């Protein structure tokens, strides 16, 4: 049996909608098989993974908390990927954003003012953008590969944070824990509703998604992103600068990741510590692809991936599987998303007989 | 002292050389597999599991190779048969590999592993200085050197290697000449997976004989950078692997001596050096263009 692809005359709009859903269904099936192999009842496992977290108010709040950084980062990444710039170091930009934004409450804790929080957020976004500027600078000046550079910078950012919270920024009254001082009330991102912990980050995420959607759809910049991404040559003929696009897309995604970082630290954690993210920067890559690199789709997919985090935590308690299952689910999901996307551009043919049938099919052309 | 340092450098460089060689072959065939980290960690966990369960570390090495190769088939199926985006699929392979290996290896955490024993070559190992360094190593070291020689010969001296390079440089023409592009690429991807798996096996059987989650710690990514550094030439991979290995080991020694620099900054060194090396190698746009396989990362659908 062979698989042959036949290019569709035009991209199938039906499959553009169906493929993410198909991918989700396939992931659930694969997940059921995985739970069977782990010796768990798959129905019960999937229920506690994907349904239970949706049934209580507090866990809906947690869902919003986890979805916010995912959506925010993924929206930025979608612009990068559409313009064919492969920033995979969002985790590092997230960390640097958190560090830059935390400078105010940690270094000048005595300054209390309503200005603190907005300044922190701006500094976080700038920190992330500047950190993403490194791969942009190296790519435009020295022609280096942005994939490798941005990834290496993740390790560097994490080690830098580790040094800060164990060294100069450690809370002197913190019983030697590697933690900074806790942020004062002025530096904490307020909660959104009275019913739970969800804070303003989710609003930032939704606003960013709509703004980027508007840019991609109605603004010249968005058009430049798409053109340069699909064909750099065509873009050059139109007078678009691919150098400037490298800077724009990387700094934009860095700013989004940095804002996500400072929002997470200020809203959910309340101080700096060695580990501030369960891999949001990498999971956001999956979010971006599951949302088909469309900011509105990313809102939906951000909640789906947030659910895998929550479900993983819930399943750890209720059915006793490890939190690694979450990563497996996320990896599987990305695989299925990518393979289902093939259906948008191609028709897939299964050819069962070897040789003869395809030779006959080919003969009219010969 | 010097001998001890050199020995650890060899141990640190071997997985980098092996994984980078595998990726080099894959990339020469025009396929960019960013999943080296994932295949490496799968190789590591398979190798550890097999050697722990059977008690024979050599079987573990085979399991690592097989694990990496089979895992890479997933990437091959998606990118070659379903023509998905190679960058994204490689990332997916890494994400899945990290999760899956954590899941598989969960019951092995904290268990002391079986160390792969060195093979001492008679007479040669008694040579002063170099004997202990080069002729009393475990099998992965010998394999790494043999692989450099074989890959170098295969790519530049053999007919099949020539075809493979032709595919990497222009898959359309290669297809028109009747070369089976997709089959060759499948083999190249699997070779890359097998090498990454072997490198992973070296990590969990030789470098630190135990299973630690995420124990590849970015080595797969450094191997990818190494291929660029080596401008797609096997012998330069060997040189680069040892430079990177030396940086990694020397920063550890510097941490132990306590030279007044915080340990975190020393731990950044391998990653920072990678970036610097990429700058030095890539800054000349023209030579980079000449060296890079022209079809690297481009999708191929045969027209029928």
Q: What ipTM score was computed for the predicted complex, to two decimals?
A: 0.85
Q: Which of A183, A180, A182 is nearest to A273 (CA)?
A: A180
Q: How many angstroms separate the CA atoms of A298 and A73, rounded?
A: 10
pTM > 0.80: yes or no: yes
| Rounded Cα–Cα distance for residues A280 and B198 (Å) | 30
Q: Return the domain boundaries, chain A.
A: 41-320
> A149: distance to nearest CA of chain B, Å?
6
pLDDT single digits (tens) B39-56: 999 999 999 999 888 888
Judged by CB atoms closer than 8 Å, whether chains meet at B99 and A156 is answered as no
Nearest to A332 by CA among B37, B92, B106, B34: B92
Across the interface, do B262 and A331 touch by the CB < 8 Å criterion? no
B282–chain A nearest CA distance, Å: 5
Distance from CA of B264 to the nearest CA of A (A): 5
CATH 3.40.50 holds for A41-320: no
The alpha-carbon gap from A363 to the nearest alpha carbon of chain B, in Å, equals: 11
- The pLDDT of residue A353 is 65
Percent of chain B with pLDDT over 70: 100
Is B301 close to A163, i.e. CB distance below 8 A? Answer: no
Q: Which residues contact A329 (CB under 8 A, 6 or more apart)?
A: A27, A31, A49, A308, A312, B99
Give the pLDDT mean for B86-105. 89
Torsion, Cα A92 A146 A253 A222, to 10 degrees, reads -170
Check CB contact under 8 Å for B272 and A160.
no
Q: How many Cβ pairs closer than 8 A exist between chain A and B?
A: 141
Token pair listed for A15: 């499959």
| Cβ atoms A79, A217 nearer than 8 A | no
One-character DSSP codes across A348-360: EEEE-S-SHHHHH
B245 interfaces chain A, CB cutoff of 8 Å: no
Are B273 and B225 a contacting pair, CB within 8 Å?
A: no
CA-nearest residue to B98 within chain A is: A327
Dihedrals phi, psi of B149, to nearest 5 degrees: -65, -50
Q: Show the domains of chain B with their CATH numbers.
A: 2-119+127-291 (1.10.3470)
Q: Chain B residues with CB inside 8 Å of A151's CB?
A: 218, 221
Query: Phi/psi of residue A172, each to 5°?
Result: -65, -25
End-to-end CA distance of chain A: 23
Contacts of B98 in chain A (CB under 8 A): 327, 331
Could you say which of A3, A144, A339 has the minimum Cβ distance to residue B282? A144
The nearest CA of chain B is from the CA of A193 a distance in Å of: 35
Candidates A162, A324, A348; nearest CB to B99: A324
CB proximity B130 to A under 8 Å: no
Say how far apart CA A81 and CA A150 lie, in whole Å: 14
Q: Are A55 and A68 in contact (CB under 8 A)?
A: no
Sign of the dihedral through C-alpha B275, B277, B280, B286: negative
Are A339 and B78 inside 8 Å of each other by CB? yes
Instruction: Collect all residues of chain A within an 8 Å Cβ-Cβ radius of residue B81.
Output: 3, 5
Intervals of chain A under pLDDT 70: 353-366
Is B301 in CB contact (< 8 Å) with chain A?
yes
- Among the partner-chain residues B83, B95, B264, the one whose CB lies closest to the CB of A342 is B83
Map residue A347 onto helix, strand or coil. Answer: strand
Contact yes or no for A38/A248 (Cβ under 8 A):
no
- Which of A309, A365, A304, A311 lies closest to A336 in space, CA to CA? A304
Q: Is the dihedral of CA B261, B262, B264, B265 positive or negative?
A: negative
Question: With 50 as the cut, is the pLDDT of residue B255 above it?
Answer: yes
Whole-number percent of chain B with pLDDT over 90: 34
pLDDT at position A6: 80
**Predicted pLDDT of residue A363:** 43
- A111: which 2 tokens? 């300054």
Reading the block at residue B204, the tokens are 């969990």
Match 């990387």 to its residue by tokens. A250
To the nearest 10 degrees (0 to 180), the angle between helices A146-166 and B263-282 is 160
Whether B91 and chain A come into contact, CB under 8 Å, resolves to: yes
Compute the nearest-CA separation of B269 from chain A (Å): 9
8 Å CB contact of B78 and A335: yes
Estimate the crossing angle of helix A146-166 against helix A242-263, to 10 degrees. Answer: 30
Distance of residue A194 Cα from the nearest chain B Cα, in angstroms: 36
pLDDT digits (tens, 9 = 90+) for B148-188: 999 999 989 999 899 989 998 888 888 888 888 889 999 99
Query: Across chain B, what does the average pLDDT equal?
Result: 87
User: Helices B263-282 & B219-229, crossing angle to 10 degrees?
Assistant: 30
Closest residue in B to A81 (Cα) is: B88
Instruction: Sort out which chain A residues have CB atoms less than 8 A from B34's CB and list them.
Output: 147
């Amino acid at each position: 049996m062979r698989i042959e692809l036949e290019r569709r005359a035009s991209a199938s709009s039906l499959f553009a909608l169906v493929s993410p859903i198909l991918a989700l269904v396939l992931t659930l099936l694969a997940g059921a098989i995985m739970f069977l192999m782990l010796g768990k009842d798959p129905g019960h496992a999937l229920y506690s993974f994907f349904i239970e977290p949706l049934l209580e108010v507090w866990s809906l709040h947690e869902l919003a908390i986890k979805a916010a950084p995912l959506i925010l980062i993924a929206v930025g990444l979608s612009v990068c990927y559409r313009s064919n710039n492969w920033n995979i170091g969002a985790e590092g930009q997230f960390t640097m954003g958190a560090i830059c934004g935390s400078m105010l409450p940690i270094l000048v804790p005595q300054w209390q003012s309503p200005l603190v929080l907005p300044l922190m957020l701006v500094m976080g976004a700038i920190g992330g953008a500047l950190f993403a500027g490194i791969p942009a600078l190296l790519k435009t000046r020295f022609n280096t590969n942005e994939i490798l550079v941005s990834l290496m910078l993740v390790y560097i950012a994490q080690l830098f944070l580790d040094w800060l919270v164990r060294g100069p920024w450690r809370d002197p009254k913190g019983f030697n824990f590697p933690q900074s001082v806790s942020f004062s009330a002025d530096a904490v991102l307020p909660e959104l509703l009275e019913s739970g912990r969800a804070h303003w980050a989710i609003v930032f995420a939704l606003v960013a998604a709509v703004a980027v959607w508007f840019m991609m759809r109605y603004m010249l910049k968005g058009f430049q992103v798409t053109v340069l991404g699909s064909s750099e040559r065509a873009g050059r003929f139109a007078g678009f600068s691919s150098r400037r696009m490298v800077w724009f897309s990387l700094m934009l995604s860095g700013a989004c990741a940095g804002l996500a970082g400072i929002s997470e630290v200020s809203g959910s954690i309340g101080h700096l510590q060695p580990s501030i993210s369960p891999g949001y920067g990498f999971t956001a890559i999956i979010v971006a692809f599951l949302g088909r690199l469309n900011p509105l789709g990313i809102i939906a997919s951000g909640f789906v991936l947030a659910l895998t985090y929550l479900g993983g935590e819930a399943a750890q308690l209720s059915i006793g599987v490890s939190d690694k299952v979450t990563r497996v689910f996320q990896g599987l999901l990305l695989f299925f998303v990518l393979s289902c996307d093939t259906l948008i551009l191609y028709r897939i043919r299964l050819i069962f007989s070897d040789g003869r049938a395809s030779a006959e099919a080919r003969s009219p052309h010969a | 002292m010097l001998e001890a340092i050199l020995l650890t450098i060899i141990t640190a460089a071997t997985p980098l050389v092996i994984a980078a060689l595998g990726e080099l072959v894959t990339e020469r065939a025009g396929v960019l597999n960013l999943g080296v980290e994932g295949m490496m960690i799968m190789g590591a966990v398979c190798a550890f599991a097999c050697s722990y369960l059977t008690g024979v570390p050599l079987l573990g090495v085979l399991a690592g190779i097989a694990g990496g190769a089979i895992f890479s088939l997933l990437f091959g199926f998606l990118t070659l048969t379903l023509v998905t985006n190679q960058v994204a699929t490689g990332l997916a392979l890494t994400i899945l590999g990290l999760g899956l290996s954590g899941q598989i290896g969960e019951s092995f955490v904290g268990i002391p592993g079986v160390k792969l024993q060195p093979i001492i070559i008679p007479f040669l190992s008694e040579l002063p200085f170099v004997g202990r360094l080069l002729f009393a190593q475990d099998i992965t070291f010998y394999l790494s050197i043999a692989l450099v020689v074989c890959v170098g010969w295969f790519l530049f001296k053999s007919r099949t290697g020539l075809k493979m390079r032709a595919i990497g440089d222009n898959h359309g023409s290669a297809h028109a000449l009747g070369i089976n592009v997709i089959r060759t690429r499948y083999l190249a991807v699997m070779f890359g997976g097998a090498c990454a798996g072997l490198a992973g096996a070296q990590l969990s059987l030789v470098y630190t004989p135990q299973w630690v989650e995420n124990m590849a710690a970015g080595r797969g990514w450094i191997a990818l950078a190494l291929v660029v550094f080596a401008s797609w030439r096997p012998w330069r991979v060997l040189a680069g692997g040892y430079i990177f290995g030396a940086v990694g080991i020397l920063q550890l020694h510097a941490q132990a001596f306590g030279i007044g620099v915080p340990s975190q900054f020393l731990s950044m060194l391998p990653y920072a050096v990678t970036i610097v090396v990429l700058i030095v190698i890539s800054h000349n746009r023209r030579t980079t263009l000449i060296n890079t396989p022209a079809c690297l990362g481009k999708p191929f659908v045969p027209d029928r």
